[in-house]
Amino acid sequence: MTLVQLRHLVCLADLGSYVQASKALFLTQPALTRSIQSLEEEMGGRLFDRLGRRIELTALGREVLYRARQLVSDAEALKQTGKVMHAGLIGVMRMGLSSAPGALFSTPLMLYMAEHHPRLKVEISRGHTDVLLKQLQDQQLDGAIVDIRAMRPSSQLQVAQAFELATGFLVRKDHPLTRLDRAATLRDLQHYPIASTPLSNEVARILMSCYGPDANPDSLVTLRCDETLSIVELARCSDAIVLTAKGVAPDLVVLDVTPSLNATARFGLVTLSKRQEAPAMRILREQLAGWVAKLA
């Protein structure tokens, strides 16, 4: 087998059509068919089943595709390693950012790269932690900044850089609870809508150990949204209370609550443990440390 055949396999699996894949690869359809058939002969079985006009991977095809993605991605990473600076770093950096990291770092990342490395292609994907980590494992991303409390143990993944940010109950400056002459209680908070992104089990335990069973997010949180910026905007224009990292909305006020919520959001830059790192990741790590220090 050749690397070219593996690229053909990946492209065909992604597009699901010989017609579309042959166009994308600038091949004739018969040439692509011969390439896949040759690969199937070496693998000892069919990689695709034809279902009318559709094709689907066989069990063997799924296994071969998984290994092929790794090999093709490693080959691309190897080519990137040899590139040097030419009016800024060249190449591609594909980053995944979950909700709060996306709100905190998307703009600073793009701004820094635009100013200092204008020839570097930066692709940012936003999504849930589980989705981004699956994309990382499939080598569709070079790294992801996510809630590492929500990570499932995996030998494929490593936390290259971890950090914590203080969290709290955030409201607009003229919220009724900011006019109390005492610290707010959980009962005070429950008079208003409470919004958050989906919370990990560990965060749920922290809340319940601090405020009791009524602080279980399943009952405490009345407005749940995957996008941090959306719930922050909600707090700006309503009496809703947002439970999130303090740094995502400097214009909001952190409520004085009793007992104090001494909790942090724990995020991390996650990469593949057995893959050549994209050259631009070094720059990201250096900048990330500075951005986190400012937030802290």
Kindly report the CATH class assigned to 91-161+269-295.
alpha beta
**pLDDT bucket at 129, cuts 50 / 70 / 90:** very high
CATH code of domain 164-266: 3.40.190.290
**Distance separating alpha carbons of residues 86 and 17, to the nearest angstrom:** 38
CA 207, CA 37: separation in Å to the nearest integer?
A: 57
Q: What is the pLDDT at residue 88?
A: 42
pTM attached to this predicted model: 0.68
The one-letter amino acid at 196: S
Instruction: Say if CB 144 and CB 96 are below 8 A apart.
Output: yes
145 neighbors 157 (Cβ within 8 angstroms): no
**Residue extents of the structural domains in the chain:** 3-81, 91-161+269-295, 164-266
Residue 89: what pLDDT? 62
Fold matches, 3-81 and 91-161+269-295: no
d(C-alpha 112, C-alpha 13), whole Å: 35
Instruction: Give the confidence band of 238 by pLDDT, cuts at 50, 70, 90.
Output: very high
How far is the CA of 122 from the CAs of 132, 160, 178, 284, 292, in angstroms? 16, 19, 41, 11, 20
Q: Apex CA 203: angle with CA 100 and CA 289, to 5°?
A: 40
Q: What is the 3-state secondary structure (H, E, C) of the chain?
A: CCHHHHHHHHHHHHHCCHHHHHHHHCCCHHHHHHHHHHHHHHHCCCCEEEECCEEEECHHHHHHHHHHHHHHHHHHHHHHHCCCCCCCCCEEEEEEECHHHHHHHHHHHHHHHHHHCCCEEEEEEECCHHHHHHHHHCCCCCEEEEEHHHCCCCCCEEEEEEEEEEEEEEECCCCHHHHCCCCECHHHHCCCCEEECCCCHHHHHHHHHHHCHHHCHHHHCCEECCCHHHHHHHHHCCCCEEEEEHHHCCCCEECCECCCCCCEEEEEEEEECCCCCCCHHHHHHHHHHHHHHHHC
Mean pLDDT score of the chain: 90
The confidence band for 201, taking pLDDT boundaries of 50, 70 and 90, is confident
pLDDT at residue 84 greater than cutoff 80: no
Reply yes or no on whether the pLDDT at 112 is more than 70: yes
pLDDT computed for residue 275 by the predictor:
78
Name which residue leads in pLDDT, 280 or 294: 294
Name the least confident of 87-96, 139-148, 209-218, 279-288: 87-96
Give per-residue pLDDT as tens, 215-229: 999 999 999 999 999
Q: Residue written as tokens 């007992």? A: 259
CATH of domain 3-81: 1.10.10.10
Q: Give the confidence band of 92 by pLDDT, cuts at 50, 70, 90.
A: confident
244: left (phi over 0), alpha (psi -120 to 50) or beta: beta
Q: Is the pLDDT of residue 296 over 90?
A: no
